[in-house]
Amino acid sequence: MMPPLNERWNALFSDPFEAVRREIANRPRAIANGFGALASWEDERNYYVEMDVPGVALDDLSITFEKEHLLIEVTRKAPANARDGWYDERAYGTLRRSLRLTDEVDAESVEAILSDGVVQIKIAKKPEHQPRRIPVRADGQKRLATS
């Protein structure tokens, strides 16, 4: 049985991006507009975080690490001259992002670089949490002792 005509008509003209718009609307305005968007990943030896901070001066960026929490605080200042009547989607003000990391990180190793509107952060894992290659030797018929 075919769905009623009004359901087929609505499906034909439904907005395929409605779910994306709802998700963006539920984010803070700054992140919805790209300011403060994060990417994070890890490899065997490090954790990495990148955050988009276009238009932010080095003096307006603060990164701290305390008790397994990486806190990034960014302030983007509004233009000094008033722009009444202009349309502006950019967000201004202070944005704080906090990431909880595990106790595997070496707090003394945190490095950060601001380049082309992106802050890049690298955090090393403690040596005991990094993979270690076990050497294998060939030694004829000998076996390891079992206890």
Each residue of 9-65: pLDDT tens digit? 565 565 555 655 565 555 555 555 567 888 989 888 898 999 999 889 999 999 998
**Using CA of residue 89, residue 50, residue 79, residue 95, what is the dihedral sign?**
positive
Is 19 part of any domain?
Answer: yes
- Tens of pLDDT, residues 90-106: 778 888 888 888 778 88
Range of the domain at 65: 9-129
Is 71 part of any domain?
Answer: yes
> Using CA atoms, how far apart are residues 95 and 57, in angstroms rounded to an integer?
14
Whole-number pLDDT of residue 116 = 93
Provide the domain count of the chain.
1
Is 90 part of any domain?
Answer: yes
Backbone angles phi, psi at 44, to 5 degrees: -65, -30
Partnered with residue 69 across adjacent β-strands are: 66, 100
CA 57 vs CA 40, 61, 77, 82, 86: distances in Å: 22, 7, 9, 20, 24
Please choose, from the candidates 66, 39, 59, 63, the residue with its C-alpha nearest in 3D space to the C-alpha of residue 51.
Answer: 39
Q: In this structure, what DSSP letter does residue 29 have? A: H
What lies within 8 Å, CB to CB, of 140 at 6+ separation is none
Is 25 part of any domain?
Answer: yes
Asked if 112 contacts 123 with a C-beta cutoff of 8 angstroms, the reply is no
| Rg of the chain in Å (alpha carbons) | 25
Is 143 part of any domain?
Answer: no
What CATH number does the domain containing 123 carry? 2.60.40.790
Is 41 part of any domain?
Answer: yes
User: What's the pLDDT band for 125 if we cut at 50, 70, 90?
Assistant: confident
Is 135 part of any domain?
Answer: no
Asked if 63 contacts 88 with a C-beta cutoff of 8 angstroms, the reply is no
Q: How confident is the model over 76-86, as a mean pLDDT? A: 76
Angle made by CA atoms 115, 72, 39, in degrees to the nearest 5: 65
Is 134 part of any domain?
Answer: no
